[in-house]
Amino acid sequence: MKAIEGRAWLFGNDINTDAMAPGLYFKASMDEMARHCLETVDPAFARSVRPGDIVVAGRNFGVGSAREQAALALAHLGVGAVLAVSFGRIFYRNALNFGLPALTFPEAATVLAGDLLRIEPVAGRIENTRSGATHRVPGIPPHLMAMVEAGGLMLWLKLRLKKEAV
């Protein structure tokens, strides 16, 4: 998996999945839903985030519902990775299943909005270009490495089904 470089977008604690994928847009297209992603927390985010940008959050990011559209909306906007002090359990699984790197980052509070970060998800290395700091964090868990390296659960399932067919 390649290194990811992007600008940091900061969020606080307990950012919930309803904020990322509001129920009011459940029947709309992913384009439409993604336009409203996190609007109740940071109205500028969805229209200003650029491909490769990185979400940096506090504790319990993605608490709440099982709606996978929360992780999908971030991926749809081109978010390159999500770093948080901790994650809601279903959001974390959804993100990795879609190939969106999610890393626990205890020192998230050292990052300022707009900092340029360089992340190596497999190794668990985060470099802050502004401060020059390098952080070691837990990488992708070993039992999920094959799935994440394959590009997510769908691609991993394809490989598994192909193997079974042989």
Partner 1 sequence: MPRTLTEKILARAAGQQRVSPGEIVTCRVDLALLLDSGGPRRIWPRLTELGAGVWDPDRIVLCSDHFTPAVDAESAAILKLTREFAAHFNIERFFDMRGIGHVLLAEQGLLAPGMFAVGGDSHSSMGGAFGCFMAGFGAIEMTGVLVTGEIWIQTPETVRVNWSGRFARGVVAKDIALFLCRQLGMENGGRVLEYGGETVQNMSIWERMVLTNMAAELGAETGLVEADEVTLQALRAAGREPALDALDWRSDPDARYAAVHDYSATELSPQIAAPHSPANSGPVAGFDTVRVDQAYIGACVGAKLSDLRMVAEVLKGRTVARGTRLLVAPASVSAMTAAAADGTLATLTAAGAYLLPTGCGACAALGAGVLAENEVCISSTNRNFRGRMGANSAQVYLASPYTVAASAVAGRIADPREFLP
In the complex, least distance from residue 111 CB atom to partner 1, rounded to whole angstroms: 20
The candidate with the shortest Cα–Cα distance to 88, out of 57, 56, 60, is 60
Is residue 143 close enough to count as binding partner 1 by CB under 8 A? yes
Considering beta carbons, is residue 8 or 63 the nearer one to partner 1?
A: 63
CA distance 128 to 13: 21
Is residue 86 close enough to count as binding partner 1 by CB under 8 A? yes
Is residue 9 close enough to count as binding partner 1 by CB under 8 A? no
In the complex, least distance from residue 157 CB atom to partner 1, rounded to whole angstroms: 6
Q: Look at strands 125-128 and 116-120 and give their pairing.
A: antiparallel
Task: Candidates 12, 44, 48, 66: give the one binding partner 1 (CB under 8 A).
Answer: 66
Considering beta carbons, is residue 59 or 118 the nearer one to partner 1?
A: 59
Please give the size of the binding site for partner 1, defined by CB under 8 A: 39
Residue type, 157: L
Alpha-carbon torsion (6, 35, 58, 99), positive or negative: negative
Cβ neighbours for 27, distance < 8 A, ≥ 6 positions apart: none
Three-state SS at 67: coil
Is residue 64 close enough to count as binding partner 1 by CB under 8 A? yes
Q: Residue 78 is encoded by which pair of tokens?
A: 């081109």
CA distance 61 to 49: 18
Task: Candidates 4, 19, 34, 119: give the one binding partner 1 (CB under 8 A).
Answer: 19
Q: Where do contacts with partner 1 occur on this chain (CB under 8 A)?
A: 14, 16, 18-19, 22-24, 26-27, 39-40, 59-60, 63-68, 71, 86-90, 93-94, 97-98, 141, 143-144, 152-154, 157-158, 160-161
